[in-house]
Structure 1
Amino acid sequence: MTAAPQHRTGVYPGTFDPVTLGHMDIIRRGAKLVDRLVIGVTTNPSKSPMFSVEERMAMVRREVEGIEGEIRVVSFDSLLMDFAEREDASIIVRGLRAVADFEYEYQMAGMNQAINPRIETVFLMADVCLQPIASRLVKEIAMYGGEIRKFVTPAVKADVTARVTAIGRKGS
């Protein structure tokens, strides 16, 4: 008797405020590693979001349309390992841009491993041309009237531009 094939679920957590081309690169590549990729949109008390969780989820859902594989977008407000356990994940997918990311992510992976050794953290290096992109910088550039089209999709650019218009640009 053969056992049923085991499906591998991965979780890619983040604030995605807004979702960038760097995030999309990690999503596309992460989706190839698992049978099901769950994108967990979370709050982060140390960040001041431009978009609500609901808006960010809608943005990510729109952007992942057409990516091959089973992808779900959900929100969570808990410890990452509790969320991963609820999703029956065996992998946490994390993107790395630079050495500073690595130091933080290495520490987080160690803490997560201590909490739940059944779940592995997999690091994916962002594409070289996307490595400098950070949501925080995209928002800052947009708030000062700079061009962000190199960092986000046209639809996300429109979302950010509309929000900046609504809340008012800095330095004007």
Structure 2
Amino acid sequence: MNRVALFPGSFDPLTKGHLNLIERSATLFDKVIVGIFVNTNKTALFTLEEKIIMVKSSVKHLKNVEVIVQETKLTVESASELGANFLIRGIRNVKDYEYEKDIARMNQHLGPQLETVFLLAEEPYAHISSTLLKEVLKFGGDVSIYLPEAVNAVINQKNRGVKPIE
């Protein structure tokens, strides 16, 4: 049996914490699918095109990782269509655990064939979130140490008014 995992998220933007989880997942599973999903509770800072460029560029060194976009389906539906039998979720703290636990239980109800795997954030990334970084970015702060090079490149292009290149 191939062990296929889906790592869904809005990745607005992809952080070094996300990338660390993807890299670790790539050693645990035969295939990891990074799904760029829409979070209806958040306002996006980056366009879908920018997110695709940032994520694909950041994971290109991982041979068993692919990137997909999903804007209209539930995570469990996408996982089923992709042949994924695992969902990857990162946890930084107790607050994340409580939130992710409820989502995992709902996903288990909706897709009993799926198993959610929680990976604890490594210490250098345990305090960062895309939401926090977006807030700092909006006010001109430097968050480059928390972002993969490809993400910083897109942010720099965006700040200069240049359309990102794939």
Quote the residue 1:83 is aligned against: 78
- AA at the equivalent of 1:10: A
Tell me if structure 1 keeps the 8 A contact 2:12–2:130: yes
| Deviation string, structure 1 residues 21-69 (Cα, Å, up to 9, x no partner) | 00000000111111110100011111111112222112101000112x4
The structural deviation recorded for 1:8 is 1.1
The alignment's C-alpha RMSD in Å is: 1.3
Q: Which runs of 5+ in 1 are unaligned?
A: 1-5, 167-172
Matches of residues 59-138 of structure 1 in structure 2 within 5 Å? 59-67=54-62, 69-77=63-71, 78-138=73-133
The structural deviation recorded for 1:132 is 0.9
Separation (CA, whole Å) in 2 of partners of 1:123 and 1:112? 13
Tell me if structure 1 keeps the 8 A contact 2:34–2:68: yes
Which of 26, 31, 50 is matched with 1:36 structurally?
A: 31
Separation (CA, whole Å) in 2 of partners of 1:151 and 1:84? 29
Separation (CA, whole Å) in 2 of partners of 1:8 and 1:32? 11
Tell me if structure 2 keeps the 8 A contact 1:143–1:164: no
The structural deviation recorded for 1:165 is 5.1
Quote the residue 1:151 is aligned against: 146
* 3-state SS, counterpart of residue 150 of structure 1: helix
Q: Which runs of 5+ in 2 are unaligned?
A: 162-166
Q: Does 1:140 align with 2:105?
A: no
Deviates more, 1:146-155 or 1:12-21: 146-155
Quote the residue 1:9 is aligned against: 4
Higher-Rg structure is 1
Tell me if structure 2 keeps the 8 A contact 1:96–1:124: yes
Aligned residue pair count = 160
* 3-state SS, counterpart of residue 114 of structure 1: helix
* 3-state SS, counterpart of residue 25 of structure 1: helix
- AA at the equivalent of 1:24: L
Percent of matched pairs sharing the same residue: 35
Quote the residue 1:55 is aligned against: 50
